[in-house]
């Protein structure tokens, strides 16, 4: 004969299932936390090496952060011997078509943009994701440009940046993140 369901039995069963599920989730989190952090650090270090010319220090060891516009910018100073090569700046914008976009912007000591890499985004595949260097030449137009002479805004807004076709919002957001990095670079005592 089957046991009768009571409130006490149902509560005890639900509590047991919840405890087992949360314990399992906690175990999986603790098991995967390290590899996820290692992968993220490798992605950051790779982005730093892609956006700056050759350097011989460890920028990630000398990094520092600043709060800007409700978020954090991370600065990675790079040098060759005693000479500053430039700085990689992990920047962001919250105005992408699908939310936040994180970029690594390499700025030379004189303030010129060396290169830009996308670290994370949720933009539309085939449209906004063309901001990634491997998917289009969009980021190439920033290379070798100095923001004092090259206005970091899309041409629709009076700037010098050719927007990604059908992705003006993503292009504007990208420009905003690059401008945020440059402004912070100048504020930290970079080129003027």
Q: What is the largest CA-CA distance in the chain?
A: 85
Q: Is the pLDDT of residue 70 over 60?
A: yes
E strand or H helix at 71, and its extent? Answer: strand 71-80
pLDDT of residue 4: 74
pLDDT of residue 191: 62
Give the distance, in angstroms, between the CA of residue 41 and the centroid of all CA atoms in the same chain. 12
Once rounded to an integer, what is the mean pLDDT over residues 179-184?
Answer: 96
The confidence band for 15, taking pLDDT boundaries of 50, 70 and 90, is very high
Once rounded to an integer, what is the mean pLDDT over residues 146-175?
Answer: 95
Q: What is the pTM of this model?
A: 0.82
**Domain locations along the chain:** 49-187
Higher pLDDT, 82 or 192: 82
Hey, how many other C-beta atoms are within 10 angstroms of the C-beta on 182? Answer: 22
Q: Is the pLDDT of residue 192 over 60?
A: no
E strand or H helix at 45, and its extent? Answer: helix 7-51
pLDDT of residue 2: 62
C-alpha torsion angle, residues 38, 42, 45, 50 (rounded to 10) = -170
Q: Is the pLDDT of residue 39 over 80?
A: yes
pLDDT of residue 171: 96
The confidence band for 138, taking pLDDT boundaries of 50, 70 and 90, is very high
CB 159 within 8 A of CB 151: yes
Once rounded to an integer, what is the mean pLDDT over residues 149-159?
Answer: 95
Q: Which residues pair with 101 in a beta bridge?
A: 93
DSSP state of 186: H
Q: Ramachandran region of residue 33, left (φ > 0), alpha (ψ -120 to 50) or beta?
A: alpha
| Structure confidence by residue, pLDDT tens digits, 87-97 | 999 999 999 99
The confidence band for 1, taking pLDDT boundaries of 50, 70 and 90, is low
What does pLDDT average to over the chain? 92
Once rounded to an integer, what is the mean pLDDT over residues 147-163?
Answer: 95
């Amino acid at each position: 004969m089957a046991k009768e369901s009571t409130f006490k039995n149902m509560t005890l069963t639900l509590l047991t299932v919840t405890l087992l599920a949360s314990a399992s989730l906690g175990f999986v989190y603790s098991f995967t936390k390290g590899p996820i952090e290692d992968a993220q650090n490798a992605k950051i270090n790779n982005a730093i090496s892609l956006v700056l010319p050759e350097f011989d220090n460890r920028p990630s060891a000398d990094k520092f952060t600043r709060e800007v516009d409700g978020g954090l910018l991370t600065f990675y100073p790079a040098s060759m011997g005693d000479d500053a090569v430039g700085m990689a700046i992990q920047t962001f914008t919250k105005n992408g078509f699908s939310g936040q976009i994180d970029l690594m912007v390499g700025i030379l000591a004189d303030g010129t943009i060396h290169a830009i890499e996308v670290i994370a985004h949720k933009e539309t595949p085939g449209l906004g994701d063309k901001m990634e260097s491997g998917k289009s030449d969009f980021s190439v137009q920033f290379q070798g440009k100095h923001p004092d002479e090259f206005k970091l805004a899309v041409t629709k807004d009076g700037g010098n940046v050719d927007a990604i076709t059908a992705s003006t919002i993503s292009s504007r957001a990208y420009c905003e993140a690059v401008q945020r990095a440059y402004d912070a670079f100048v504020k930290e005592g970079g080129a003027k």
